[in-house]
Amino acid sequence: MNLLRKGETADFSITGVWANKAEQEAKKLGFNTNIIYDDKANNYTLVPNLNDSNISANAKYLHITSNNTIYGTRYKTLPKIKKVPVVADMTSDLLSRKINVSDFGIIFAGAQKNIGPSGLTIVIARNDLIEGVKEPMPVLLNYSTIAKNKSLQYSTYLLHLHRQTSL
């Protein structure tokens, strides 16, 4: 939602359940998806080596799931793509290995599997990618607003509700 306008396209590498869900959700919201790799036929036993030649001409980014939680497979070599930013769901392997953060446009992870309490989500985003966030966008999901408020807009919102209810 933060990187595409309606009708724009992203590439997806389907290496498991979570990658598949990401692609399905993107379609639901009216974005176009190109599936550049899908290992469903092998019950997600293989993970591709992706490079710039795999990226579609019209893609704005490539989405990957770095570790496939349910299938126990992962990208041993994480893709280094120059053509488009790589957006990686690292929910089940963030902090488990060294990564070069600058190889990614956006890294996101739910904290509950590898890092900390459920309900916390970590997003590491390249500043230039989130500057012109696409509207309409719910403010709680807007990376640009979140960055501007140093991740505090949710607590500001709760404080606002609290003040209203105690009046």
Ligand X SMILES: *Cc1c(COP(=O)(O)O)cnc(C)c1O
Task: Give residues in contact with ligand X (CB under 6 A).
Answer: 18, 65, 69, 89, 91-92, 110, 113
CB of 91 to ligand X, least distance (A): 3
113 is catalytic: yes
> Which CB sits closer to ligand X, 20 or 56?
20
134 is catalytic: no
Q: Pick the catalytic residue: 11, 39, 60, 89? A: 89
> Which CB sits closer to ligand X, 65 or 144?
65
> Which CB sits closer to ligand X, 83 or 111?
111
Q: Pick the catalytic residue: 83, 103, 113, 134? A: 113
128 is catalytic: no
CB of 23 to ligand X, least distance (A): 13
Q: Pick the catalytic residue: 11, 18, 39, 60? A: 18
Q: Among 120, 116, 88, which residue's Cα sits nearest to residue 101?
A: 88
DSSP labels, the chain: --S--TT-EEEEEE-SHHHHHHHHHHHHTT-EEEEEEE-GGGTS-------GGGS-TTEEEEEEESEETTTTEE-SS----SSS-EEEE-TTTTTSS---GGG-SEEEEETTTTTS-TT-EEEEE-HHHHTTPPSS--GGG-HHHHHHTTT-HHHHHHHHHHHHHH-
CB of 166 to ligand X, least distance (A): 31
CB of 28 to ligand X, least distance (A): 16
Known catalytic residues are: 18, 89, 113
